[in-house]
């Protein structure tokens, strides 16, 4: 069935606590010994993430033994599944087992994306000698900031749909037909449930007997010990292997992907590992990986190149061949120009921060207002005012959610329906006289006041073409109670002006001559993030009846210079 490849199904591996996990093993039909490439996933080993990667037989036909294992409590494997809980120990034990398989030469590499990137990073924490390299793709650096939460706001569409999908598979594994049918319908119809309040009674999962971890995520809205125990970015020196970090500019985890590259390049546990970190960022969202991403077609250069890079990477570190994969530490797709570019560092050397100040005559509401972005700092000018009603939130238009476009706002999208709302402040630059390339993290410094003891502020960077079409590039959020610390929330004194710093995440985007920069400011981006009910009450446990309308004031004068900061490449 697989020419030149021998497949052995359901090969058992016993973990240190006696739990048996099962894997499928693909070997070249003859020869050996072979280096092993390992994938550990909760999404069915028979599929092996072939929605994005080439089938394991493709790698086996090129001289590798490929091991694909169901993680603990998933599909064929024994035990109970709880996200992230067992991946460090099970990953270490599995890699050691894979290194000892018949016809293995003892060298192991790992690959996979999303949660399967997490299983690699967690396994690498143990420093198993036989684990020579990893290829974590489209994954985070921790599971609070950039995964379950962003700036203190719950990443609703992603986590609700993901938990429902995981619960559906748990029910199917248990042979619970009625629950499987209900959860499958709830997953495919997830957008119809996002509006339910309180979230602690989320209908698809409440009382289902499955997916209880979703409610644990809600019960830990701050960065505390629950999350810290799994955070890779708490100490990168624990990892000492070369790594190929693959990201997508519209992926939910792009910030974590870049952070892992930067952190390991700076602080990995050996000089060899620090010098062998590679960043590869494509223009995609979470999946699929194609030139057509949301409303944008990035052209033939944006085709899926990951398998080719991975094969060269494994040849370099498992076969000791010089394949040139480290000729440039960063290879990224520059959107707008739709081309690949190599850089000696990330962010690239020579980029300089450039401030674009929020300016208006006090009426920046909607694209038809008088808001503008200007390099000239403001003098004395009136603030902009809008109201935010949590029961009528601003709808997400594209974005960086996960994991399927049918259930979550993902990718570039036309912003017309958002920018006509008076509850959205819109600031637009004059048309650019020359190309402007942004390479690195985009940030916003916002001086604002609210009538509520807690609220959210959202920001979205857009590219406006000469015909007026506005397309999102990056976005961010801050929950006001977390303005100073993600671990120590504090209410906001109503009416007091505070400075908020929002990360809009990294990008590589060229705004072409004749285009304009645009910044949207609002207080909701739903359902990408949950709604702040403006009460200061316990997140996730309040009903719709408790929601309050907030009056928001954004200041941009000499004493309060609200500004967008872009890392701009030299002309």
Neighbouring residues of 405: CB distance < 8 A, sequence distance ≥ 6: 285, 294, 411
The pLDDT of residue 364 is 98
Residues in the chain: 571
Question: Which residues in 221-257 are b (16+ Cβ under 10 Å) and which e?
Answer: bbbeeebeebbbbeebebbbbbbbbbbbbbbbbbbbb
Q: Mark whether 467 is an active-site residue.
A: no
Tell me, rounded to whole angstroms, the distance of Cα 237 from its chain centroid.
23
What is the CATH T-level fold of the domain 151-226, as seen in this structure? Answer: alpha-amino acid ester hydrolase ( Helical cap domain) (1.10.3020)
Could you report the per-residue pLDDT of 131-151, keeping only the tens digit for each? 999 999 999 999 999 999 999
SS3 content of the chain, % helix, strand, coil (to 5): 20, 30, 45
DSSP code per residue over 156-219: HHHHHHHHHHHHHHHHHHTT-HHHHHHHHHHHHTGGGTTT-S-GGG-TTTTTTSS-THHHHHHH
Could you report the per-residue pLDDT of 350-385, keeping only the tens digit for each? 999 999 999 999 999 999 999 999 999 999 999 999
Could you report the per-residue pLDDT of 267-285, keeping only the tens digit for each? 999 999 999 999 999 999 9
Per CATH, the architecture of 235-347 is what?
Answer: 3-Layer(aba) Sandwich (3.40)
| Mean per-residue pLDDT over the chain, rounded | 97
Mean pLDDT confidence for 208-212: 97
Distance CA 136, CA 203 (A): 33
Could you report the per-residue pLDDT of 153-173, keeping only the tens digit for each? 999 999 999 999 999 999 999
1-109 and 235-347 in the same fold: yes
Mean pLDDT confidence for 382-397: 98
**Number of neighbouring beta carbons within 10 Å of residue 145:** 22
Neighbouring residues of 59: CB distance < 8 A, sequence distance ≥ 6: 26, 37, 66, 311, 314
Q: What percent of the chain has pLDDT over 70?
A: 100
Q: How confident is the model at residue 3 (pLDDT cuts 50, 70, 90)?
A: confident
**8-state DSSP, 249:** T
Structure tokens at 273: 């590992």
- Closest C-alpha among 401, 421, 369, 517 to residue 161: 401
**Number of neighbouring beta carbons within 10 Å of residue 518:** 26
Does the pLDDT at position 509 exceed 90? yes
Q: How confident is the model at residue 414 (pLDDT cuts 50, 70, 90)?
A: very high
Could you report the per-residue pLDDT of 12-45, keeping only the tens digit for each? 999 999 999 999 999 999 999 999 999 999 999 9
Considering the candidates 104, 114, 141, 524, report the single residue annotated as catalytic.
114
Residue bearing tokens 């960086």: 400
Q: pLDDT higher for 128 or 1?
A: 128
Structure tokens at 72: 């603990």
Mean pLDDT confidence for 292-311: 96
Mean pLDDT confidence for 387-403: 98
- Closest C-alpha among 47, 42, 69 to residue 57: 47
Structure tokens at 227: 């999350």
Does the pLDDT at position 315 exceed 90? yes
Does the pLDDT at position 451 exceed 90? yes
Per CATH, the architecture of 1-109 is what?
Answer: 3-Layer(aba) Sandwich (3.40)
Considering the candidates 70, 251, 315, 530, report the single residue annotated as catalytic.
251
**8-state DSSP, 98:** H
Q: Mark whether 100 is an active-site residue.
A: no
Considering the candidates 286, 357, 447, 556, report the single residue annotated as catalytic.
286
Three-class DSSP category at 136: strand
> Could you give the dihedral angle defined by the CA atoms of residues 210, 215, 216 and 221, in that order, rounded to the nearest 10 degrees?
160
Mean pLDDT confidence for 250-254: 98
Mean pLDDT confidence for 427-440: 98
Mean pLDDT confidence for 466-476: 98
pTM: 0.97
The pLDDT of residue 2 is 81
Distance CA 105, CA 99 (A): 7
Mean pLDDT confidence for 332-343: 98
The pLDDT of residue 523 is 98
Could you confirm whether domain 352-568 is CATH 1.10.10.10?
A: no
CB–CB of 126/92 below 8 Å? yes
Does the pLDDT at position 194 exceed 90? yes
Does the pLDDT at position 1 exceed 80? no
Q: Mark whether 196 is an active-site residue.
A: no
The pLDDT of residue 571 is 79
Domain boundaries, the chain: 1-109, 151-226, 235-347, 352-568
The pLDDT of residue 452 is 98
Alpha helices in 300-376 (DSSP H): 306-318
Mean pLDDT confidence for 200-211: 97
């Amino acid at each position: 069935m697989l020419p030149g490849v021998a497949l052995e199904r359901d090969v058992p591996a016993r973990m240190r606590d006696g739990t048996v996990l099962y894997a499928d093993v693909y070997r070249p039909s003859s020869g050996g010994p072979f280096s092993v490439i390992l994938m550990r996933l909760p999404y069915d080993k028979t599929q092996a993430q072939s929605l994005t990667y080439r089938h394991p037989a493709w790698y086996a036909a090129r001289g590798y033994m490929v091991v694909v294992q169901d993680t603990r409590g998933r599909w064929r494997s024994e035990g109970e599944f709880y996200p992230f809980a067992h991946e460090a120990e099970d990953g270490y034990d599995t890699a050691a087992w894979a290194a000892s398989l018949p016809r293995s030469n003892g060298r192991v590499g790992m690959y996979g994306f999303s949660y399967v990137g997490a299983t690699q990073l967690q396994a690498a924490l143990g420093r198993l000698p036989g684990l020579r390299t990893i290829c974590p793709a489209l994954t985070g650096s921790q599971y609070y900031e950039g995964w379950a939460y962003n700036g203190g706001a719950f990443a609703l569409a992603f986590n609700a749909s993901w938990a429902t999908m995981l619960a559906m598979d748990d029910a199917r594994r248990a042979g619970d037909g009625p629950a499987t049918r209900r959860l499958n319908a709830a997953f495919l119809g997830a957008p119809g449930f996002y509006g339910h309040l309180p979230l602690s009674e989320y209908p698809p999962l409440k009382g289902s007997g499955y997916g209880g971890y979703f409610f644990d995520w809600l019960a830990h809205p701050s960065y505390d010990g629950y999350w810290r125990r799994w955070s890779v970015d708490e100490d990168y020196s624990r990892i000492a292997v070369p790594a190929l970090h693959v990201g997508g500019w519209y992926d939910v985890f792009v910030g974590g992907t870049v952070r892992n590259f930067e952190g390991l390049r700076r602080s990995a546990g050996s000089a060899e590992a620090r010098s062998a970190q590679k960043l590869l960022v494509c223009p995609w969202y979470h999946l699929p990986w194609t030139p057509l991403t949301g409303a944008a077609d990035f052209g033939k250069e944006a085709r899926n190149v990951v398998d080719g890079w991975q094969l060269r990477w494994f040849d370099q570190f498992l076969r000791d061949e010089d394949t040139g994969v480290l000729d440039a530490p960063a290879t990224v797709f520059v959107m707008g120009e739709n081309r690949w570019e190599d850089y000696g560092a990330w962010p690239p050397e020579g980029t300089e921060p450039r401030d674009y100040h929020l300016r208006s005559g006090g009426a920046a509401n909607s694209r038809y207002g008088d808001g503008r972005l200007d390099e000239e700092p403001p003098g004395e000018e009136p603030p902009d005012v809008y109201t935010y009603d949590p029961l009528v939130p601003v709808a997400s238009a594209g974005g960086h959610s996960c994991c399927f476009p049918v259930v979550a706002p993902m990718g570039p999208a036309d912003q017309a329906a958002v920018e006509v709302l008076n509850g959205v402040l819109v600031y637009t630059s004059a048309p650019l006289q020359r190309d402007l390339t942004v390479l690195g993290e985009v940030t916003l410094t916002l001086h604002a006041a609210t009538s509520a003891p807690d609220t959210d502020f959202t920001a979205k960077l857009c590219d406006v073409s000469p015909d007026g079409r506005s397309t999102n590039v990056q976005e961010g959020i801050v929950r006001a109670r977390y303005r100073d610390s993600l671990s120590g929330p504090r209410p906001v004194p109503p009416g007091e002006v505070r400075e908020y710093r929002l990360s809009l995440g990294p990008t590589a985007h060229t705004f072409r001559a004749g285009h304009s920069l645009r910044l949207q400011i609002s207080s909701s981006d739903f359902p990408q993030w949950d709604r702040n009910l403006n009460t200061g009450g316990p997140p996730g446990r309040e009903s719709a009846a408790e929601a309050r309308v907030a009056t928001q004031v954004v200041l941009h004068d000499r004493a309060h210079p609200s500004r967008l900061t872009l890392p701009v490449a030299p002309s």
